[in-house]
Amino acid sequence: MKEIDESYMREALRMAAYARGRTSPNPLVGAVIVRDGTIIASGWHRAAGEPHAEIHALRMAGELARGATLYVTLEPCTHHGRTGPCAEAVIAAGIARVVVALSDPNPLVAGRGLAMLRAAGIETETGVCEHEARRQNEVFLKWVTTKRPFVTLKTAMTLDGKIASHTGASQWITGEAARARVHIYRDVHDAILVGIGTVLADDPSLTTRLPDRTGHNPLRIVLDSEARTPIDAKLLTDGAASTVIAVSERADHRRVNLLHSCGAEVVTLGAERPEIGQLLDWLGAREISSIFVEGGAQVNWSFLAGGFVDKVHAFIAPLLMGGAAAPTPIGGTGFDSPQTALHLSDVTVEQVGADILITGYPCAEGR
């Protein structure tokens, strides 16, 4: 029975993934309904405010749902939000058994959905493919429990750890396939963040450019203590997405007003430099649930040293740049020893074109 449940749950997880990057601040949820060993209906949550996965599946199944088994990747909700409670719909449809991958930590749900189903006489099972479901909904789980966005840090470097040559030349260290992957990552994040150094050096657009479909352009965020962002920067003139500039109290008020007049939203967070913790709180309150950090060495260090990074994507190109003064991905003072350095867990290694992509999750015990 366990293997059968896992097989159907993986199909529900596959359905949920169709909406990756489109449901914020809601979770990714997939559902399948099984009757007599056959999937008779399926559904997934498409966007906040639209019907949940269970509702799509129940509508497809119709009367065939009575007596069937529902597999759903997240506990059915019980509250009235943008949509009605799914647990009530499941009961009304006559579902006999519900298998759930993950209990919902949302305080508005938090076990109430499962309790309601059990009270109605429905058999329930939880924890099926729980690890996969947690990874799939890592963004939602972080935001709903902390009200801060999930932070992914991306770096790209040569084999000897350089992000540019000693002259500052950096285009292109990684190959076309790796750069295309970065745009896929941008597409599924709510926001993308860089420092003022990147803006001044590269004048980036920070948009999503996918070859086969229109991408989602994330909110653009610049850490800019002194409000130095040029008024003719692409971030302010291309109209492709909204731009937030985080400044400090020492920013010149005339520059702040000028940036406002250019269409940027300017927020003051911190006395000497923008405080990242305050920024994350501010963004979380605005239902920004994920940030993709593509900063330079100092920005990257600030996020890592503060313990703000939840996930790391590190691209490594088969190049040897050399140069004692050539910049590296992480600046700042650095950690004191290998023992105190930030360690990654749950690491995966993948070849992307000619480059290597290492993905991992910072773990506290490595600090």
Predicted confidence at residue 348, as pLDDT, reads: 97
Which pLDDT tens digit goes with each residue over 270-285?
999 999 999 999 999 9
Least confident of 11-25, 61-75, 171-185, 202-216: 202-216
183: tokens are 């745009």
User: Looking at residue 365, what is its pLDDT?
Assistant: 55
Task: For residues 296 and 171, give the distance between their C-alpha atoms in angstroms, rounded to a whole number.
Answer: 14
Q: Mean pLDDT over all residues of the chain?
A: 93
pLDDT surpasses 80 at 109: no
Whole-angstrom distance, CA of residue 182 vs CA of residue 152:
12
Length of the chain: 367
pLDDT of residue 69: 97
Looking at residue 112, its pLDDT comes to 86
249 included as an active-site residue: no
- The mean pLDDT of 247-266, rounded to a whole number, is 95
Residue 358 to residue 367: CA distance in whole angstroms: 19
pLDDT 10s digits, 116-130: 999 999 999 999 999
Return the percentage of the chain with pLDDT > 70, whole number. 97
**What are the structure tokens assigned to 295, written together?**
């900063």
**Is residue 27 pLDDT above 50, yes or no?**
yes
- The better pLDDT of the pair 31, 170 is held by 31
58 pLDDT higher than 90 = yes
Choosing from 3, 11, 54, 287, which is the catalytic residue?
54
- Angle at CA 155, nearest 5°, toward 149 and 157? 175
pTM, 2 dp? 0.92
- pLDDT surpasses 70 at 366: no
Q: What digits encode the pLDDT tens for the residues 73-106?
A: 999 988 666 666 889 999 999 999 999 999 988 8
Average the pLDDT over 298-309 and give the result. Answer: 95
**Phi, psi torsion values for 245, nearest 5 degrees:** -115, 115
Tokens of 244: 């937030």
**CA distance linking residue 262 with residue 160, whole number of Å:** 41
pLDDT exceeds 90 at position 151: yes
* Range with the poorest average pLDDT among 2-6, 52-56, 78-82, 363-367: 363-367
Q: For 160-174, 233-247, 292-306, which range has the lowest pLDDT when averaged over its residues?
A: 160-174
**288 contacts 279 by C-beta, under 8 angstroms:** no
Q: Kindly indicate the confidence band of residue 364, based on its pLDDT and cuts at 50, 70 and 90.
A: low
CA–CA separation, 173 and 163 (whole Å): 7
Looking at residue 221, what DSSP letter applies? E
| Local confidence band at 258 (pLDDT 50, 70, 90 cut-offs) | very high
